[in-house]
């Protein structure tokens, strides 16, 4: 029996998946309190993962402006990212969902499978301008459940002075072999090669995925020859001293701190470190992560989606759609994504960002090649697969087992 958008059952599988899903992108911490929706009073609630922005911020003012444009009052609450998904599920169970929900992109498919979100067919949200590779993170079962508000991803920061002293021309770094050759030169010159995060959490999977996907591997077949080649690359870097053993415990933050010391040639890290990069005191550049034979590897996307949760009163969707459209309009995205240190999800605004700041050019290139972690219709399967992947990375890099055996075990467990 088909249910209307206002009467969906929360599935046990999705609830379980959300409980173990964590994000790897850089998000500020904080807390918020839930807001009660004033149905029929002209008040619409918006929940977001930006508690760092108070009522006087440009973000809060934009929400108020969008509310005024729609003829309603906006009641906004900012939650810590790690809390937002669970609070959303609880609100849905209580029949008190926010009207508009801005949520980390890997959580979208989980909430969708739980029956919490409306589809764009139902809420009439236009997604035609969003880049398809970014939009895919919000799709499940052939349906779309929101639109991206912005994206961040991973690339390689490099220290120009370290490379110059080692005799490395960054233009020569085009693929895995030339990158490895550059690392060899740097370490021979007495400096350190590359730092990244291989910690046994989602951050470790997040940082390994560009190499895994770049090799042509798929998350549904962790033990493929392509996946083994990617893990072997990292393993060999540690064995040869091109990467430090500290990567086993590095978060993306501690990995960045290593790079900021000035001793490393490369650091795999994200858009969110741009402000910190300017504070390092040395000249740096950014290079999209290369594939094994050249080109840009697909790095995982971070960033949020604007979604419209299920309501008992389906008449509310029209106004919610106006609010969501306002937040993701071409006119507003540039300011919003600059504030959030995100690359915009549309080509038009990306071009505007690059025109205003040339340093964003490699990041736009990386985002255009990026891929959602839950893409390929993985949905609630992703958290379990990711956990086995990071365990395999830890096992291989620590020397407990070979890359092939580690990924074979991971694939068996992921089933």
What is the C-alpha separation between 179 and 327, in angstroms, rounded? Answer: 40
Which pLDDT score, from 0 to 100, does residue 15 have? Answer: 43
In this prediction, residues 263-290 reach a mean pLDDT of: 95
Q: What's the pTM value of the predicted model, to 2 decimals?
A: 0.83
Alpha helix stretches (DSSP H) within 103-193: 105-113, 120-123, 132-135, 160-165, 176-188
In this prediction, residues 265-281 reach a mean pLDDT of: 94
Pairing of strands 73-78, 43-48: parallel
Alpha helix stretches (DSSP H) within 102-249: 105-113, 120-123, 132-135, 160-165, 176-188, 202-214, 225-239
What is the C-alpha separation between 346 and 329, in angstroms, rounded? Answer: 10
Q: Cα 326 to the chain's mean position, in Å? A: 23
Question: 113-169, pLDDT tens digit by residue?
Answer: 999 999 999 999 999 999 999 999 999 889 999 999 999 999 999 999 999 999 999
Q: With a cut of 60, say whether residue 30 has pLDDT above it.
A: no
Domains 12-152+302-368 and 154-299+378-414 share a fold: yes
The conformation of residue 381, written as its DSSP 8-state character, comes to: G
Which pLDDT score, from 0 to 100, does residue 372 have? Answer: 92
The residue assigned the tokens 């440009």 is 58
Which pLDDT score, from 0 to 100, does residue 338 have? Answer: 84
Which pLDDT score, from 0 to 100, does residue 41 have? Answer: 54
Domain boundaries, the chain: 12-152+302-368, 154-299+378-414
Closest CA relative to residue 125, chosen from 304, 327, 346: 327
Angle at 87 between CA 81 and CA 93, to 5 degrees: 150
In this prediction, residues 172-188 reach a mean pLDDT of: 98
What is the C-alpha separation between 156 and 108, in angstroms, rounded? Answer: 28
Give the pLDDT band (50/70/90) at residue 39: very low
Q: With a cut of 70, say whether residue 239 has pLDDT above it.
A: yes
Residue 33: burial class (beta carbons within 10 Å; 0-12, 13-18, 19+): exposed
Q: With a cut of 60, say whether residue 358 has pLDDT above it.
A: yes
Contact predicate 66/326, CB 8 Å = yes
Write out the CATH class of domain 12-152+302-368.
Answer: alpha beta
Which pLDDT score, from 0 to 100, does residue 159 have? Answer: 98
What is the C-alpha separation between 275 and 256, in angstroms, rounded? Answer: 12
Give the pLDDT band (50/70/90) at residue 286: very high
The conformation of residue 10, written as its DSSP 8-state character, comes to: P
Closest CA relative to residue 392, chosen from 154, 219, 255, 268: 219
Q: With a cut of 60, say whether residue 23 has pLDDT above it.
A: no
Closest CA relative to residue 137, chosen from 105, 162, 165: 105
| Range in 12-26, 31-45, 134-148, 308-322 with the lowest mean pLDDT | 12-26
| Range in 39-53, 202-216, 289-303, 347-361 with the lowest mean pLDDT | 39-53
Q: Cα 32 to the chain's mean position, in Å? A: 22
Q: With a cut of 60, say whether residue 283 has pLDDT above it.
A: yes
Q: With a cut of 50, say whether residue 341 has pLDDT above it.
A: yes
Pairing of strands 284-287, 304-307: unpaired
Closest CA relative to residue 79, chosen from 117, 44, 30, 28: 30
Question: 57-78, pLDDT tens digit by residue?
Answer: 999 999 999 999 999 999 999 9
Which pLDDT score, from 0 to 100, does residue 336 have? Answer: 86
What is the C-alpha separation between 129 and 340, in angstroms, rounded? Answer: 20
Mean pLDDT, all residues of the chain:
90
In this prediction, residues 180-209 reach a mean pLDDT of: 97
CATH of 154-299+378-414, one of 3.10.20.340, 3.40.190.10, 2.40.30.10, 3.50.50.60: 3.40.190.10
In this prediction, residues 241-264 reach a mean pLDDT of: 97
What is the C-alpha separation between 186 and 194, in angstroms, rounded? Answer: 10
Query: 372 phi and psi, to 5 degrees?
Result: -75, 145
């Amino acid at each position: 029996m088909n249910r209307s958008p206002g009467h969906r059952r929360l599935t046990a599988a999705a609830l379980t998946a959300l409980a173990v899903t964590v994000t790897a992108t850089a998000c500020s911490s904080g807390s918020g309190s839930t807001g009660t929706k004033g149905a029929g009073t002209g008040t619409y609630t918006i929940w977001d993962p930006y508690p760092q922005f108070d009522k006087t911020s440009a973000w809060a003012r934009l929400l108020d402006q969008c509310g005024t444009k729609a003829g309603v009052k906006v009641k906004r609450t900012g939650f810590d990212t790690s809390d937002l998904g669970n609070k959303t599920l609880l609100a849905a169970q209580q029949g008190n969902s926010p009207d508009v929900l801005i949520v980390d992109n890997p959580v979208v498919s989980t909430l969708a499978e739980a029956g919490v979100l409306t589809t764009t067919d139902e809420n009439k949200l236009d997604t035609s301008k969003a880049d398809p590779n970014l939009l895919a993170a919000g799709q499940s079962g052939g349906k779309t459940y929101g639109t991206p508000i912005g994206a961040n991803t991973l690339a390689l920061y490099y220290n120009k002075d370290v490379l110059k002293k080692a005799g490395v021309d960054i233009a020569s770094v085009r693929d895995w072999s030339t990158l490895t050759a550059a690392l060899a030169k740097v370490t021979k010159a007495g400096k350190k090669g590359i730092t990244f995060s291989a910690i046994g959490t989602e951050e470790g999977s997040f940082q390994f995925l560009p190499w895994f996907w770049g090799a042509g591997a798929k998350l549904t077949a962790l033990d493929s020859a392509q996946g083994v080649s990617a893990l072997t690359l990292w393993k060999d870097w540690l064995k040869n001293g091109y990467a430090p053993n500290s990567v086993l415990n590095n978060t993306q933050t501690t990995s960045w701190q290593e790079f900021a010391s000035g001793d490393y040639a490369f650091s795999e890290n994200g858009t969110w470190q741009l402000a910190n990069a300017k504070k390092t005191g040395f000249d740096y550049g950014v290079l999209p992560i290369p594939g094994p034979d050249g080109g840009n590897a697909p790095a995982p996307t971070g960033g949020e989606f604007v979604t419209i949760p299920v309501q008992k009163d389906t008449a509310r969707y029209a106004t919610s759609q106006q609010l969501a459209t306002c937040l993701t309009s071409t006119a507003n995205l540039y300011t919003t994504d600059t504030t959030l240190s995100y690359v915009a999800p549309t080509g038009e605004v990306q071009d505007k960002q690059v025109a205003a700041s040339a340093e964003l050019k490699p990041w736009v290139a990386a985002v255009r090649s990026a891929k959602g972690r839950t893409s390929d219709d993985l949905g609630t399967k992703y958290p379990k697969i990711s956990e086995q992947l990071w365990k395999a990375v830890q096992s291989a890099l620590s020397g407990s087992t070979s890359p092939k055996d580690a990924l074979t075990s991971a694939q068996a467990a992921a089933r």
